[in-house]
């Protein structure tokens, strides 16, 4: 096992000017499960492929442990990769698929069989070793691909969206198995996904990328409680955070009749470039339902109620002035607010719901740079 270090690693594809990955600085500790997450085209898979040796590094370095592997061939890096599409040999049995890399490496048959049986036991595949991949379900095939990586006993596991081809229920089950398996084996793992729910539930730490640039690295709780900028705030969390552009007046953020007090530290951090505006973020669960006419409340016109049994979410927009409504965005889109409510007291479509932001639970960002401001 070993740590992984990206040292100003940059990848520029031929024929393009903007780097796909731009000066990535990231350290993954020995035995850590790190998740690279971000929207399509953000550079997460390119970063993984650079680590695997499948993409050139145009500048900077990549280290596995203390060894610089920037120019080392993929086969010599002591890594094992699990892909989205399983990549199993259809004419081989499960056992042969899992042990193929060891066979190519010239390992003795007895050792191959022992390692395959050990991995199959860990993955609950022992009874399927003589089957062909076509006789397995999607989840079982993905576990075979995992087993193929495990038998190699590499220093680092690389996983590129391994759950994307599974249905929703199986995806939840398999992500639990992968996370617990990694903790049992203690192998350093870099896992790529676009699904922030996977990132929050699986990783020891998360690295968020956007347009090839690293936005923030931290534990799932860090990401949720203290997002570094507007992008991370809107990306991490399900449903996503509501974000509103407010005007700053007399020590408060103001939008229509709503006033959110700002601390002295926040006021001091504002600059002329912010043009008297500030972005306030508030999660759906940070809103309290209050009676109509409550000072500082946000009136929300209910458009849709999503009932999930133990939870319910209202999707709507700021009632009244359409221009003011367009100052708010959320994961549901422009001019949309999401509110978590008591599932036993659900409003009807067309109702006006009045909510206030719970004191101390708002997130404040600079209107110009999008960076988090001190609270």
The alpha carbon of residue 261 and the mean position of all alpha carbons in its chain are separated, in whole angstroms, by: 31
Give one DSSP letter per residue of 141-159, joined into a string: HHHHHHHHHHHT--SEEEE
CA 92, 95, 98 angle in degrees (round to 5)?
90
Share of the chain above pLDDT 90, in %: 71
Three-state secondary structure of 74-131: HHHCCEEEECCCCCCCCCCCHHHHHHHHHHHCCCCHHHHHHHHHHHHHHCCCHHHCCC
Distance CA 22, CA 20 (A): 6
For residue 1, is pLDDT > 90? no
Phi then psi dihedrals of residue 127, to 5 deg: -80, -5
Distance in angstroms (rounded) separating the CA atoms of residues 246 and 233? 16
Q: How confident is the model at residue 165 (pLDDT cuts 50, 70, 90)?
A: confident
Contact status, residue 2 vs residue 153, Cβ threshold 8 Å: no
Cβ contact 243:329 at 8 Å: yes
With contact defined as beta carbons under 8 Å apart, do 301 and 321 qualify? no
pLDDT digits 0-9 by tens, 207-253? 999 999 999 999 999 999 999 999 999 999 888 899 999 999 999 99
Neighbours of 241 (CB within 10 A): 23
Under a CB-based contact definition with an 8 Å cutoff, are residues 262 and 251 in contact?
yes
Region 162-178 average pLDDT: 83
- pLDDT tens for 67-116 read 999 999 998 999 999 888 878 999 999 999 999 989 998 999 999 999 99
| Average pLDDT over every residue of 19-33 | 96
Q: Tell me if the pTM is above 0.85.
A: yes
Q: Which domains does the chain have, with CATH numbers?
A: 4-233 (3.40.50.300), 240-366 (2.40.50.140)
């Amino acid at each position: 096992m070993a740590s992984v270090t990206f040292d100003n690693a940059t990848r520029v594809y031929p024929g393009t000017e903007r780097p796909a990955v731009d000066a990535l600085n990231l350290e993954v500790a020995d035995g850590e499960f790190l998740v690279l997450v971000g929207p399509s085209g953000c550079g997460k898979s390119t970063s993984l492929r650079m680590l695997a040796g499948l993409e050139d590094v145009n500048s900077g370095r990549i280290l596995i442990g203390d060894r610089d592997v920037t120019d080392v061939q993929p086969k010599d890096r002591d890594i094992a990769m699990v892909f989205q599409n399983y990549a199993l040999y259809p004419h081989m049995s499960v056992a042969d698929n899992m042990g193929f890399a060891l066979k190519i490496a010239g390992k003795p048959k007895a050792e191959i069989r022992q390692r395959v049986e050990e991995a199959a036991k860990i993955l609950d595949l022992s009874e399927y070793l003589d089957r062909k991949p076509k006789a397995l379900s999607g989840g079982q095939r993905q576990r075979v691909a995992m087993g193929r990586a495990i038998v190699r006993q590499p220093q680092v596991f690389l996983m590129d969206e391994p759950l994307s081809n599974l249905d929703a229920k199986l995806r939840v089950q398999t992500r639990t198995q992968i996370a617990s398996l990694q903790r049992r084996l203690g192998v350093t793992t870099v896992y790529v996904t676009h699904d922030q729910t996977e990132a929050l539930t699986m990783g020891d730490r998360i690295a968020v990328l956007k347009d090839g640039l690293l936005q923030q690295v931290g534990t799932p709780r860090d990401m949720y409680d203290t997002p570094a900028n507007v992008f991370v705030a809107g990306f991490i969390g399900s449903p996503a955070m509501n974000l509103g552009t407010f005007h700053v007046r007399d020590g408060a953020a103001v939008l229509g009749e709503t006033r959110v007090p700002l601390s002295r530290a926040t006021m001091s951090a504002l600059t002329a470039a912010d043009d008297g505006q500030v972005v306030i973020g508030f999660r759906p669960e940070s809103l309290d339902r209050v009676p109509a006419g409550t000072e500082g409340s946000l009136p929300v016109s209910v458009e849709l109620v999503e009932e999930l049994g133990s939870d319910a979410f209202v999707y709507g927009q700021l009632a009244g002035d359409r221009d003011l409504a367009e100052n708010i965005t959320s994961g549901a889109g422009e001019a949309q607010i999401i509110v978590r409510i008591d599932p036993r007291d659900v409003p009807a479509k067309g109702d006006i719901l009045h909510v206030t932001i719970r004191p101390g639970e708002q997130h404040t960002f600079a209107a110009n740079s999008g960076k988090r401001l001190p609270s």
